[in-house]
């Protein structure tokens, strides 16, 4: 989405940001379907729809740097986990508010590892196989339902 530049979407009432820099073409669309492979994430706790759009919609150069680093710090992996999750949520908020009611979230709970897909071939083994597919228009309810199912499945295994 950032091939043709960037656009700043507002983050109303943000703790960390007053805007998030997104790929410019996000404004070409009036609706969004978010399809996410739900899994773990080393720094973000879990990778659901919130992480998917929080990081995924931020542009590749400016927005992702805003998420991963704090002022005066150059090491993107040196950020506090709680702050990182708050930053992701604020970025998600910008996307959600941009699309309003024209956004739907789908989480696929299949072959879940405790690692993010960004770990590539060194990702940890699958710990929760095929649970199912969940969908909602409420991002918080959806991601929470997925977390609840992971813990419920873990108690049965």
Centre a 10 Å sphere on the Cβ of residue 101 and count the other Cβ atoms it contains. 8
Q: Which of 46, 91, 41 is nearest to 64 (CA)?
A: 91
- The residue with tokens 């109303």 is 12
pTM for the structure as a whole: 0.84
Alpha helices in the chain (DSSP H): 49-56, 62-68, 81-99, 139-156
Q: What is the pLDDT of residue 90?
A: 97
76-80, 91-95, 111-115, range with the lowest pLDDT = 111-115
Q: What is the pLDDT of residue 81?
A: 82
Centre a 10 Å sphere on the Cβ of residue 12 and count the other Cβ atoms it contains. 10
**Using one digit for the tens of pLDDT, what is the confidence trace for 34-75?**
999 888 666 656 778 999 999 999 999 899 989 988 777 777
Averaged pLDDT, 78-104: 93
DSSP letter assigned to residue 107: E
DSSP letter assigned to residue 106: E
Q: What is the pLDDT of residue 11?
A: 97
Centre a 10 Å sphere on the Cβ of residue 53 and count the other Cβ atoms it contains. 25
Q: Which two tokens stand for residue 36?
A: 């996410």
Q: 9: part of which helix (H) or strand (E)?
A: strand 6-10
86-100, 102-116, 135-149, range with the lowest pLDDT = 102-116
2-6, 39-43, 94-98, 103-107, range with the lowest pLDDT = 39-43
Mean confidence (pLDDT) of the chain:
85
Q: What is the pLDDT of residue 120?
A: 63
Q: What is the pLDDT of residue 71?
A: 74
Let me know the angle formed at the C-alpha of 5 by 30 and 38, rounded to the nearest 5 degrees: 60
Domains delineated in the chain: 6-156 (3.40.50.11440)
């Amino acid at each position: 989405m950032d091939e043709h530049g960037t656009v700043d979407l507002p983050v109303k009432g943000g703790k960390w940001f007053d805007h998030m820099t997104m790929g410019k073409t996000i404004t070409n669309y009036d609706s969004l379907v978010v399809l996410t492979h739900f899994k773990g994430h080393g720094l973000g706790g879990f990778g659901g729809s919130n992480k998917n759009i929080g990081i995924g919609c931020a542009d590749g150069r400016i927005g992702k740097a805003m998420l991963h680093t704090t002022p005066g710090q150059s090491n993107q992996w040196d950020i506090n986990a709680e702050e990182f999750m708050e930053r992701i949520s604020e970025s998600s908020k910008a996307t959600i508010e941009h699309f309003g009611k024209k956004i739907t979230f789908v989480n696929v709970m299949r072959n879940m590892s405790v690692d993010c897909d960004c770990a590539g071939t060194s990702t940890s083994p699958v710990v929760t196989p095929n649970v199912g597919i969940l969908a909602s228009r409420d991002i918080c309810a959806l991601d929470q339902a997925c977390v609840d199912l992971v813990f419920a499945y873990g108690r049965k295994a």
